[in-house]
Structure 1
Amino acid sequence: MKRCVVGALATLLMTAGLITSAPPAAAGCVYGGNNLGKCDGPVQPDGTWQRCVAVAQWVPRGASSYLVPVKHCQVIGPGRPVTDLAFADPPTHIAD
């Protein structure tokens, strides 16, 4: 019985250590503002990256209308003009 308790405690402590040492889930993302969130993909060899912006879209359904998140993505970076202001801020890669 004692071995089971000690083993369970050791497993719990190891799991807690792995969880606390994991990188944050929001790395490369910002949430809030005028959008639901923005996330940047990895920087490519040419210096560009893909930025995805989630915005809320109104779906009318009579008395049960609701908002649905919609994802829009665009490749941005050096030499790539931003065509939509939702993608412009911040002007650099989010994880940097």
Structure 2
Amino acid sequence: MRPTNRRCIAAGFAAGLLTTAVLATAPPAAAGCIYGGPVLGKCDGPVQADGNWERCVTVAQYVPSGLSSHLIPVRRCEVMGPARPPVDPSFADPPGHIDG
């Protein structure tokens, strides 16, 4: 095997290791979210300097359509925080920030 081929193989191996390391240290896809239960999902954005954050809740909405029907996801967002109780009770659980 020529030295040039060995360098290419070593570079490819190093790139593969680097990619694996980056993927292994990445945060999980569900960070800051809760899925299931009475809603499809509840996700919190980052906490701002004033202590507030945005929470988005996704629910399934029934839509009649002729002789059949279907469910569509509907997403609503609301700002929450220590001094801002949620207006809609479905946003209140859990009362604190979802950290994942």
After superposition, what is the alpha-carbon deviation per residue over 1:20-78, rounded to whole angstroms, capped at 9, x for unaligned?
11111211111111111111112122221111100111222235532111110111112
Q: Do structure 1's residue 46 and structure 2's residue 50 form an aligned pair?
A: yes
TM-score by length of 1: 0.83
TM-score by length of 2: 0.80
Q: Percent same amino acid among aligned pairs?
A: 58
Letter in 1 for 2:51: G
Secondary structure of 1:72 counterpart: strand
Gapped regions of structure 2 (runs ≥ 5):
none
Runs of 4+ aligned structure 1 residues displaced above 4 Å come to none
CA RMSD in angstroms comes to 2.0
Structure with larger Rg: 2
Q: Paired residues, what number?
A: 96
Q: Do structure 1's residue 16 and structure 2's residue 20 form an aligned pair?
A: yes
Gapped regions of structure 1 (runs ≥ 5):
none
Q: Do structure 1's residue 80 and structure 2's residue 84 form an aligned pair?
A: yes
Report how far residue 3 of structure 1 moved. Answer: 4.1
